[in-house]
Amino acid sequence: MRGREVRLTLDGRERLCVPSFRAIIEIEERLGGLVGLASRAADGDIGLREVSVILWATMDERPVFEDLGQMVLSAGLVNVMAAVRDLLAICLTGGGEPVLPGKS
């Protein structure tokens, strides 16, 4: 993870994922609120569908959704989880350090 982007290798090719406003809206429309999703991801409690939606929504060059799912399966779901958790963290913090309530 670098700042506000995440790079990962799928199908032998480096992929750039950038959480944008549009990407976040797509993720929320398909999967629900980000805070709960990030919490489940932190616990390792999300599956192929959620991982694929998060990656697909944030990719700068989107493959066919089903092809992406196969790429994730081939890479191993557990092997892409760090990238997904990083993407969700960027969505929630804007890429900066989180500010806790009562702190500024």
Helix (H) or strand (E) holding 14: strand 13-17
Neighbours of 40 (CB within 10 A): 16
Helix (H) or strand (E) holding 95: none
Residue 103: pLDDT over 90: no
Estimate the share of the chain in helix, then strand, then coil, as percent rounded to the nearest 5.
55, 10, 30
Helix (H) or strand (E) holding 29: helix 21-31
Global confidence as pTM: 0.87
- 32-69 tens-digit pLDDT: 999 999 999 989 899 999 999 999 999 999 999 999 99
Could you tell me the two tokens for 44?
């390792």
β-pairing, 13-17 with 6-10?
A: antiparallel
Average confidence score pLDDT of the chain? 90
Give the residues across from 16 on adjacent strands. 7
